[in-house]
Structure 1
Amino acid sequence: MIEQIFDKDEKRTIARKVLEALKDWFEVDESREQYIRESADRIFIAAKENNEYVGFLCLKETGRDTVELAVMGVLMEYHRSGIGRQLFEKAKAIAVSEGYSFMQVKTVQMGKYPDYDKTNLFYISCGFKEFEVFPEYWDEDNPCQIYVLSLR
């Protein structure tokens, strides 16, 4: 079941559960804690299976017409089950209903790490298009790929 969560404490609890289980992607403690903290004030969509939250997605406004898929995580045992796609589709529908024209997402550039290549392929399969690479946005070992998606 995919649902929008409004309670700030519940958002933080779900984000913490999922992100702490995904330390291969969210290994930097400060960054992970920032995602958890900021999730409370964002559009927050969660996935529930067997009465347990197993994934979530947060949207962040980055401009009057643009929303960013700021953070997304699905527990490893639920990867490739369609939950990520369902979270994205719900997020996209909410972004459209809120009047946004574009969605963006940032990830590590394709070709750097196999796990991030899977992430890139997921975003491409959702309809995102390559926008720009910022080689030192995070650091030289993690060039930032920005993808964009038209919502209109």
Structure 2
Amino acid sequence: MGKTIEILTGKAELCRSIMGALPDWFSEPEVIEASARAIEDLPVFGYVEADVVTALMALKRHPPGAVEIALIATRPEHHGRGAGRHLIDAAERFGLETGARLLTVKTLAPRGLDEPQFEA
């Protein structure tokens, strides 16, 4: 079987499954559940290998000219196999097709480092 990018249905359950398999990044059940609910109304793309969604990405449009990668995650046993690169390519195509000129992604600092750090 080949590898494909597909627009997904069943988004919330896939989100819970993939994020739940990544406790080093997504350890709080409330965050996983909020993410699963938040992506229901967004376009969500999946990287599919041998009929299994191994990675997903949710995109959020910010008219008039930006698309944000709201969530991107890969099942741990599939890390380093190119799924993320293919999803980023799909995000770029989506942005171009929808007239966006900017693709963004936001990340969070590890817990405990959110406060500014000053040296004396």
Instruction: Compute the TM-score of the two structures, normalised by the length of structure 1.
Output: 0.67
**Which blocks of at least 5 consecutive residues in structure 1 are unaligned?**
114-138, 144-152
Aligned pairs, number = 112
Deviation at 1:49, TM superposition (A): 1.4
Task: Provide the C-alpha distance between the structure 1 equivalents of 2:108 and 2:84, rounded to a whole number of angstroms.
Answer: 18
Q: 1:15-61, CA deviations, whole angstroms, 9 ceiling, x for partnerless residues? A: 11111111211112222111111111111100111211111000112
Task: Provide the C-alpha distance between the structure 2 equivalents of 1:27 and 1:61, rounded to a whole number of angstroms.
Answer: 27
Task: Provide the C-alpha distance between the structure 2 equivalents of 1:65 and 1:41, rounded to a whole number of angstroms.
Answer: 19
Task: Provide the C-alpha distance between the structure 2 equivalents of 1:102 and 1:108, rounded to a whole number of angstroms.
Answer: 20
Stretches of 4+ aligned residues off by more than 3 angstroms: none
2:90 corresponds to which residue?
Answer: 90
Matched, 1:107 2:107: yes
1:77 corresponds to which residue?
Answer: 77
Deviation at 1:62, TM superposition (A): 3.3
Letter of the 1:3 partner, please give it. Answer: E
SS in structure 2 of the partner of residue 108 of structure 1 = coil
Matched, 1:60 2:32: no
Q: Among residues 3, 17, 28, which one is paired with 2:6 in the alignment?
A: 3
Matched, 1:141 2:93: no
SS in structure 2 of the partner of residue 14 of structure 1 = helix
Identity of aligned residues (%): 27
Structure richer in strand, relative to its length = 1
61-70 vs 45-54, which deviates more? 61-70
1:117 corresponds to which residue?
Answer: none
Task: Provide the C-alpha distance between the structure 1 equivalents of 2:28 and 2:46, rounded to a whole number of angstroms.
Answer: 23
Task: Provide the C-alpha distance between the structure 1 equivalents of 2:16 and 2:64, rounded to a whole number of angstroms.
Answer: 29
1:36 corresponds to which residue?
Answer: 36
Q: How does 1:122-141 map to 2 (within 5 A)?
A: 141=113
**Which blocks of at least 5 consecutive residues in structure 2 are unaligned?**
116-120
Task: Provide the C-alpha distance between the structure 1 equivalents of 2:15 and 2:108, rounded to a whole number of angstroms.
Answer: 21
